[in-house]
Chains A and B, each alone.
Chain A
Amino acid sequence: MLLYLIKRLLYVVPIALAVSAVCFSLVFLAPGDPLSAVLPADASTEMVEKLKADYGFDKPIPVQFARWVGRAVQGDLGTSIATGRPVAIEIGRAISNTFVLAFFACAIGFTLGLFFGTVAGYFQGTWIDKLVTAIAVAGVSVPHYWLGMVLVIVFSVVLNVLPAVGMGADGSSQWAWDWEHLRFVILPAITLSMIPTGIITRTVRALVADILAREFVAALRGKGLTDRGVFMHVVKNAGPTTLAVMGVQLGYLLGGSILVETVFSWPGTGFLLNTAIFQRDVPLLQGTILFLALFFVALNLIVDLLQTLIDPRIKRS
């Protein structure tokens, strides 16, 4: 057990390093001029060259890479070209906003997913199962950015009951956990929760149906085990896999909220990423992606370890 833990932890190090390399290599891919975001439109070519030298973009790429890695190890992700603010600070501000959104999306998605999945698994083959399965398939099939647009039309524009954009009437820095602010999170959270709802429903349904179909459950029932007892049994057996799926989903929500955050102008990491892409702000792009990917790696590690703790029989290679 301990050996597994150590092995698993050590394995993360090369992955994290390789992830950083991939993030840096994005700069090789990037065509065009990373400085076009900074200069006024009528600056001449001469001025572009001068500024390039100021920012060190005229240096050979290996030199730029060495600098980047050297600073990243110390937690310095460089400076945003467009804003001049440290990338780490930009991400820090955005990530907490994304967490708020992901928290609600997860709360909705996990609750609905677990509920739907369990019900469908219990009533496999009935109309309840079919209905739930249909909802789940719809959840994973709907382009959620489109759903977000539709929700805005209905609830913000036509009914005018919920705000369309942003994170509170006075900005995310004044965020509070009260209704005035929670109103803003409803639409984006619902939109973002569609995929986890669908995926968790499907997973849980399959697990529950599978466990209930096993011979020993019938045997247990025969021995007079109560429904409650059977349910506990299901929970115990379906728990670890469900947990793993939920962990991965949380990771996807954090890394994949860019479309929803763009539709709702939610000031999180996705919105930041979108801005970075369109302003060709390479340091910000690299830093944000590195941060999110490393977070995803860590999350997977935690899920793995938790799973092993709950059910030591599971040992992933």
Chain B
Amino acid sequence: MKQVALRCLAAAAVLVTLVAPAAAQGTLRIGMTAADIPLTTGQTDQGGEGQRFMGYTVYDALINWDLSSADKASQLVPGLATDWRADEKDRRRWILTIRKGAMFHDGSEFTAEAAVWNFDKLLKTDSPQYDSRQSAQGRSRIPAVAGYRAIDKYTLEITTKEPDAFLPYQIAWIMMSSPANWEKVGKSWAAYAKTPSGTGPWRVDRWTPRERAELVPNKNYWDPKRIPKLDRLVLLPLPEATSRVAALRSGQVDWIEAPPPDAIQSLRSAGLQIVTNAYPHNWTWHLSRIEGSPWNDIRIRKAANLAVDRDGLKKLLGGMMIPGEGHVTRSSPWFGNPSFKVRYDPNEARKLLAEAGYSKAKPVTVKILISASGSGQMQPLPMNEFVQQNLAEVGIKVDFEVVEWNTLINIWRAGAKDPSSRGAHGMNYSYFIQDPFTGFVRHVESTLVAPRGTNWGWYQDKEMDALLATARTTFEPAAQTKALQAVHEKFVDDALFVYITHDVNPRAMSPRVRGFVQAQNWFQDFSPVFMAPK
């Protein structure tokens, strides 16, 4: 069996060198976890998955993510803008150079005016092209943007409220729809949704709501290296995890997102590939810092971090996790060099707790909100119970309150002071931490407490605010990375969260799927993927 597989692999490798990339190869059918085809008009819904399959495939942002490497954290790369910089004199003014000759699928050209038109689509409620659906998805991604205008056909100016060096990360969220197509279909987003047009490497060939979408390569894509090798990419919404596995095993799809962890072993033994990689995800306990919370004592926070047996947890999850050593993974450029080493050291934890006046016999009691399921939450019940046991060993007694995932999201928005938080001292939440804002700022900046933002724990610290302000106003990339490292070092040194684990984003696919490079990112590039012949 192995022999045959190896031979096939070799044969495929030969084929690749001989034929690729000239010949398009096969149809790839992907089972998504979403219940519906993500919004096709540009700014997608369905969270990270929507952006992955209907955003970065069919559309481009002005600034894209580099999804070509599996080995290092993804960086921003030129998309529809070839260059971006903040004005030296007025840091609030950004100049973006628009790529020449980037064409929409309908044949019109992308210009600075088109970019302005797209910002209006999201932000200017009285513009004819304003779309409340896309706005609901996009507006919250670009809080910094105050104004924008086309200086000429290929030069775009964006102004921010305050100097904000994180703007490029925000811009990377915004997908560019085609104004010409919108005009052509009668100025209707409903009609646009049926015949979408972007600048991306894939074009929507046809789609049926809730059932499937078929993408075909855009042979005129502006980056020849990213012209897809496949003939066709088919997306199928299969929200039921078991249905996804059944579909993969019976050969109805070639690739499924997020196979249930319990199915992974059986999928492996059925000859399917399981692909994993680090990505900017953090499964953590977000701590409440309001008055009366035991977590206000740094010794207890550090003790909790030292009490978690992450290697044990990893074993139990079949290796499907990366132990948390900080807020971001060690492979992130922002990790820095924190002096507090997050590790498993129950003795040290006990010592710290003893200093704080607690012990196994006289434990400190905390109440944590958890969900029974939820996107990105991995396996919340057993994992939390594992952590609960770990903490009990050193003298932290944890009571759980289990709520529905949607309820947890609402509680998280409402903040720890809100009655809906039920006096809890923390919550188990999994975070998308791909950029400085989602990774750091939104959790800890003083001003972002409810209702303005999602600093659930009401952590408010002048020193942290200053560090964030520094990072936000450092425009030179290397210096900005340094500043963000300082932020992260404070995250870890002050043990602001209980750092537990990062998911590895498993995917299961047929052995015929080749060429996929799983980037350390929530988004992925499907252009290099091809299907080995049967």
Contacts and interface: CB of A to CB of B under 8 A. Distances in A.
Is there a direct interface between A and B, measured as CB atoms under 8 Å apart in the complex? yes
B121 to A, nearest CB: 14
Contacts of B211: 166-167, 171-173, 267
Interface of B: 35-36, 39, 45, 47, 132-133, 136-137, 139-141, 190, 208-212, 236, 238-240, 242-243, 246-247, 249-252, 406-407, 409-410, 413-414, 432, 438, 442, 450-454
- Range for the number of chain A residues in contact with chain B: 35 or more
Interface in A33-65: 33, 36, 38-49, 51, 54
Interface string A262-276: 111101000110010
Contact of B243 (A54, A164, A172): A164
Nearest to A164: B246
Interface stretch (A81-89, A214-222, A249-257, A288-296): A81-89
B487 to A, nearest CB: 18
A207 interface: no
A47 B452 contact: no
A36 B240 contact: no
Given A33-B410, A44-B413, A45-B414, A278 B247 contact: no
Contact of B247 (A47, A51, A166): A166
B210 A275 contact: yes
Interface stretch (A1-9, A68-76, A152-160): A152-160
Interface string A7-50: 00000000000000000000000001100101111111111110
Contact of A265 (B132, B141, B243): B243
Given A83-B209, A90-B209, A166-B252, A43 B140 contact: yes
Nearest to B35: A275
Contact of B136 (A39, A171, A172): A39
Contacts of B45: 38, 40, 82
A149 B39 CA distance: 31
29 contacts: A32-B407, A38-B45, A42-B140, A42-B442, A43-B140, A44-B413, A45-B414, A45-B450, A47-B136, A47-B139, A47-B140, A49-B451, A51-B132, A82-B36, A83-B210, A84-B39, A93-B209, A152-B246, A157-B246, A163-B252, A164-B247, A164-B250, A167-B211, A171-B208, A262-B240, A267-B210, A275-B36, A275-B210, A280-B406
Classify the secondary structure of A's interface with B: loop
A42 B209 contact: no
Given A44-B454, A149-B242, A164-B249, 16 more contacts: A40-B140, A42-B438, A42-B454, A44-B452, A156-B249, A165-B238, A165-B247, A166-B211, A166-B236, A166-B252, A172-B211, A264-B243, A265-B240, A271-B210, A275-B210, A280-B406
Which of B35, B239, B249 is the most central at the interface, judged by chain A CB atoms within 10 Å of its CB? B35
Nearest to B244: A165
A265 B409 contact: no
